[in-house]
């Protein structure tokens, strides 16, 4: 039986492990928190720091294949493991490009992949110097930001004071009409499968995805462009794995790549029920060198993220769970986190229906009925 390791033990790892039970695989998780969402679903939990060279190297050296569920891992250790013959998916080279937003943007430019215009700044000082003729802008720290925490919208020169004092990308703010994400699956030999694009609606305050519809409602021409761009991103990264390509459609009808994640992604949670082969099932097929599955949609879906309620920190309690569980074609996923805090991703709910009105209506109903609060 193959031994597969996952760096990181969050909800993505947890859902990946739920699918692992269908395959001949022995699973390993490396993570600091022995109570993390993935800890109790793997065969072997190893406590350690995914950013530490020795921890990652020692974790991976006797495994057949290693993957990630978060980008902030020690890539040097993965490089050494790959050089010693371990299969590392995605490749350390692809991970290195994506991990830093500066190199990620350079990659898009180099391969003529459309992306918002940008400058690179090294410090607050440089930010102040370059902001004047570049407004409105979005500043993104090069490394370490996630869930919107490394992103700052800068509307005016005064706003620049709340910017980041570290190496970052300063993008022109795009007037967004729609946010789209496409998941691409790439097998070891290069076989590729594309999931239908999803459409996202964000909370402007928390910067977190909280409502999604799949498949996205876009015109045929735009769909072809989206698919072509997603394929190009995956092809140029030349790595097996699952890649989630986030894009914007601007008010002028232009398509831009926002960012790519080299792993299973929040925008693919619905694929568990709403697609023939889920992103998690697909990743196991890739990791274990089996043929790709069918990414096609079984039925349209909407997805609500369950975030910790503002003002609630402490031991978690779910209000309104019974009411939601009574609803038809509604699927609840809780991530098993013991502590809630404002905005923390605690679970998600997938809704399936042929009728778009029903998808929107039920999503709103669930957002109001189900609350993640503290005891
Ligand atoms: N150039 C831009 N113009 C307008 N809005 C933007 C721009 N870049 C980012 N945003 C907005 O900010 C959100 C977060 O940006 P981004 O995806 O780069 O950050 P992130 O921290 O990696 O987020 P996540 O981990 O949630 O994907 C985007 O989904 C989009 O709504
Ligand atoms: Mg994003």
Per-residue pLDDT tens for 219-249? 999 999 999 999 999 999 999 999 999 999 9
300-336 pLDDT, tens digit per residue, is 999 999 999 999 999 999 999 999 999 999 999 999 9
Confidence (pLDDT) at 64: 98
Residue 364 pLDDT: 87
- Beta pairing, strands 25-31 & 44-47: parallel
pLDDT at 200: 86
Identify which ligand lies nearest to the alpha carbon of 145.
1
Mutate to test the pocket of ligand 1, among 8, 141, 145, 148 (most ligand atoms within 8 A of CB): 148
Check residue 329 and give its pLDDT. 97
pLDDT of 305 reads 93
So what's the pLDDT on residue 204? 60
**Among 219, 297, 209, CA closest to 255:** 219
pLDDT value at 350 more than 90 = yes
Confidence of residue 191 (pLDDT cuts 50, 70, 90): very high
Residue 144: the pLDDT is: 78
Dihedral over Cα of 330, 336, 339, 343: its sign: negative
Mean pLDDT (the chain) is 95
How far, in Å, from the CA of 120 to the mean position of ligand 1? Answer: 16
pLDDT score, position 205: 57
Rounded distance from Cα 237 to ligand 1 centre (Å): 21
247 C-alpha vs ligand 2 centroid, how far in Å?
Answer: 9
**Cα torsion through 368, 306, 206, 201, rounded to 10:** -80
What average pLDDT score do residues 208-229 get? 90
- Burial tier of 219 (Cβ tally within 10 Å: 0-12, 13-18, 19+): exposed
Among residues 250, 247, 254, 214, the alpha carbon closest in space to that of 232 is found at: 247
Inter-residue contact 243 to 234 (CB < 8 Å) = yes
Pocket test for ligand 1, best of 104, 138, 211, 348 (most atoms within 8 A of CB): 138
**Arithmetic mean of pLDDT, 287-305:** 97
| pLDDT of the residue at 302 | 96
pLDDT band at 21 (very low <50, low <70, confident <90, very high): very high
**Is the pLDDT assigned to residue 80 strictly greater than 80?**
yes
Flag whether pLDDT at 101 surpasses 60: yes
Quick one: pLDDT at residue 300? Answer: 98
Work out which ligand 1 atom sits closest to the CA atom of 149: 21
Closest by CA to 305, choosing from 214, 205, 201, is 201
Interval 118-129 mean pLDDT:
93
Residue of 183, 258, 269, 307 to mutate, ligand 1, most atoms within 8 A of C-beta: 258
């Amino acid at each position: 039986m193959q031994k597969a390791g996952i760096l990181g033990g969050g909800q993505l790892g947890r859902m990946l492990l739920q699918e692992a039970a269908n395959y001949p695989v022995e699973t390993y998780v490396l993570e600091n928190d022995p109570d993390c969402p993935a800890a109790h679903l793997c065969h072997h939990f190893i406590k350690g720091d995914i950013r530490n060279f020795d921890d990652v190297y020692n974790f991976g050296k006797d495994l057949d294949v290693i993957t990630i569920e978060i980008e902030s891992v020690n890539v040097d250790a993965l490089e050494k493991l790959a050089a010693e013959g371990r299969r590392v998916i995605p490749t350390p080279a692809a991970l290195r490009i994506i991990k830093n937003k500066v190199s990620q943007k350079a990659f898009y430019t180099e391969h003529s992949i459309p992306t918002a215009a940008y400058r690179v700044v090294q410090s607050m000082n440089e930010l102040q110097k370059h902001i004047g003729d570049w407004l409105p802008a979005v500043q993104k720290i090069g490394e370490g930001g996630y869930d919107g925490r490394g992103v700052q919208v800068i509307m005016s020169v005064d706003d620049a004071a709340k910017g980041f004092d570290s190496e970052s990308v300063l993008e022109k703010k795009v007037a967004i009409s729609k946010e789209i994400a496409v998941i691409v699956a790439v097998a070891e030999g290069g076989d590729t499968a594309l999931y239908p694009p999803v459409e996202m609606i964000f909370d402007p305050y928390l910067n977190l995805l909280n409502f999604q519809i799949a498949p996205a409602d876009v015109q045929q021409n735009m769909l072809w462009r989206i698919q072509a761009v997603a394929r190009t991103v995956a092809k140029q990264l030349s790595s097996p794995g699952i890649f989630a390509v986030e894009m914007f459609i601007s008010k002028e009808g232009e398509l831009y790549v926002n960012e790519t994640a080299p792993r299973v992604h929040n925008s693919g949670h619905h694929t568990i029920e709403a697609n023939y082969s889920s992103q998690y099932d697909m990743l196991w097929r890739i990791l274990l060198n089996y043929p790709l599955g069918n990414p096609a949609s079984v039925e349209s879906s909407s997805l609500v993220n369950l975030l910790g309620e503002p003002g609630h920190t402490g031991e978690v309690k779910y209000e309104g769970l019974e009411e939601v569980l009574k609803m038809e074609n509604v699927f609840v996923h809780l991530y098993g986190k013991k502590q809630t805090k404002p905005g923390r991703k605690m679970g998600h709910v997938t809704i399936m229906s042929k009728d778009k009105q029903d998808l929107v209506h039920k999503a709103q109903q669930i957002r109001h009925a189900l609350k993640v609060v503290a005891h």
